[in-house]
């Protein structure tokens, strides 16, 4: 919707479209920095309800990821080769123009500012890291006091959320040699579980009991629910990214369409076939 709206506005008033895109990019850039943490809640509560045949599920996910990446790359590469062969049979003028487009020559200085990729505003600074660390420490103390006094669980709510955020901020600041094998989402999930263990030890409760209200059902909102809710607004940021690269997408429209459709179809049917081949239970296949 954002992408289509910006394209329509560009047709009507290009300068206004550039201003709107620049304004939206400020918020979109901030949301994109936090985007991975919105996927963490399901990993956090995974130890509470380990599904049967977990090993097969993990194997299917890993194999499916590798298959999706390689098959999509192969489809795009094959489509590019076909397009290049078709363009080589055209006239010399169109051939040279097509080859220069396929080689993705850098844009000239006369290209409009609105077509450039959005500016990256950098990783989290010391201020954000310090804020979430202090919030974690304060909410931990309040959670211990509230447990002993029999108060409500609001402090635990804040504590679990702050442990997730502080773990993610810490994970993004780790060296690439670590994050290459341990993604910040995994780090923040582990930090949340570790925080539940620490709070459980301090309040004489099990970590499962501490972590149970992380994701709630029936209209109740836990810290995990709040993060999952933000996935909706985060998806809108993709429209800003697509608009920034609209010219590249237009030049490679065939590859984009084939890659998206191919990845969707191969992922859908490949997962279903793979689940049957490894003998997953029918209820797990439907899930």
pLDDT for position 286: 67
Q: What range defines the domain where residue 172 resides?
A: 126-224
Beta carbons of 123 and 173 less than 8 angstroms apart: yes
Q: Which two tokens stand for residue 251?
A: 């030049």
- Nearest 5°: the CA angle 36, 32, 9 is 140
Q: Which two tokens stand for residue 15?
A: 């300068």
Judged by average pLDDT, the poorest of 46-50, 124-128, 213-217 is 124-128
> Does position 193 have pLDDT exceeding 60, yes or no?
yes
Kindly report, residue by residue over 114-126, the tens digit of the pLDDT. Answer: 445 544 334 677 7
Q: How many CB atoms lie within 10 A of CB 125?
A: 11
Compute the mean pLDDT over every residue in the chain, rounded to the nearest whole number: 81
Kindly report, residue by residue over 47-64, the tens digit of the pLDDT. Answer: 888 777 777 878 888 888
- Nearest 5°: the CA angle 47, 166, 231 is 70
Question: Per the domain annotation, does 199 fall within a domain?
Answer: yes
Question: Per the domain annotation, does 175 fall within a domain?
Answer: yes
Q: What percent of the chain has pLDDT over 90?
A: 22
Which ranges of 212-286 does DSSP label H, i.e. alpha helix? Answer: 223-229, 231-244, 246-251, 253-277, 282-286
Kindly report, residue by residue over 220-278, the tens digit of the pLDDT. Answer: 899 999 999 988 888 888 888 888 888 888 888 888 888 888 888 888 888 888 888 88
pLDDT for position 98: 46
Question: Per the domain annotation, does 18 fall within a domain?
Answer: no
| Number of domains the chain is built from | 2
Boundary-marking domain end, from 224, 246, 263: 224
In this prediction, residue 151 has a pLDDT band, given cuts at 50, 70 and 90, of low
Question: Per the domain annotation, does 105 fall within a domain?
Answer: no
Boundary-marking domain end, from 209, 224, 239: 224
This prediction's pTM? 0.71
Judgement on whether residues 143 and 200 belong to the same structural domain of the protein: yes
- What is the Rg, in whole angstroms, of the alpha carbon atoms belonging to the chain? 24
Judgement on whether residues 203 and 268 belong to the same structural domain of the protein: no
pLDDT for position 83: 77
Boundary-marking domain end, from 224, 246, 262: 224
Mean pLDDT, rounded, for 126-143: 88
Judgement on whether residues 215 and 131 belong to the same structural domain of the protein: yes
pLDDT for position 276: 84
Kindly report, residue by residue over 54-92, the tens digit of the pLDDT. Answer: 778 788 888 888 888 888 888 888 888 887 787 776 644
DSSP-derived letter for residue 89 is: T
Question: Per the domain annotation, does 144 fall within a domain?
Answer: yes
pLDDT for position 223: 92
- Calculate the alpha carbon distances from 201 to 46, 49, 152, 196, 215 in Å: 21, 21, 19, 9, 21
The greatest distance separating any two alpha carbons of the chain, rounded to the nearest whole angstrom, comes to: 83
pLDDT for position 56: 80
């Amino acid at each position: 919707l954002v992408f289509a709206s910006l394209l329509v506005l560009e047709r009507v008033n290009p300068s206004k479209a550039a201003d709107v895109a620049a304004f939206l990019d400020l918020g979109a850039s901030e949301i994109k920095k936090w985007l991975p943490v919105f996927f963490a809640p399901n990993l956090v509560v995974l130890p509470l309800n380990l599904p049967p045949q977990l090993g097969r599920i993990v194997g299917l996910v890993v194999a499916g990821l590798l298959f999706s990446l390689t098959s999509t790359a192969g489809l795009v590469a094959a489509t590019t080769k076909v397009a290049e062969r078709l363009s080589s049979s055209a006239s010399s003028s169109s051939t040279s123009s097509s080859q220069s487009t396929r080689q993705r020559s850098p844009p000239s200085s006369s290209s409009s500012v609105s077509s450039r990729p959005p500016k990256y505003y950098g990783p989290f600074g010391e201020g954000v890291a310090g804020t979430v660390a202090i919030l974690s420490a304060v909410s931990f103390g309040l959670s211990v006091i509230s447990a002993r006094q029999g108060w409500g669980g609001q402090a635990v709510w804040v504590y679990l959320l702050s442990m997730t955020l502080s773990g993610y901020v810490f994970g993004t600041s780790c060296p690439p040699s670590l994050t290459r094998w341990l993604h910040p989402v995994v780090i923040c999930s582990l930090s949340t579980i570790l925080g539940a263990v620490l709070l459980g030890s301090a309040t004489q409760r099990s970590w499962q009991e501490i972590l149970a209200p992380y994701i709630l059902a029936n209209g109740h909102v836990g810290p995990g629910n709040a993060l999952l809710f933000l996935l909706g607004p985060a998806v809108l940021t993709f429209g800003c990214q697509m608009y920034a690269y609209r010219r590249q997408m237009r030049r490679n429209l065939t590859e984009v369409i084939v890659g998206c459709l191919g990845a969707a179809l191969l992922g859908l049917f490949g997962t279903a076939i793979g689940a049957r081949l490894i003998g997953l239970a029918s209820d797990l296949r439907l899930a």
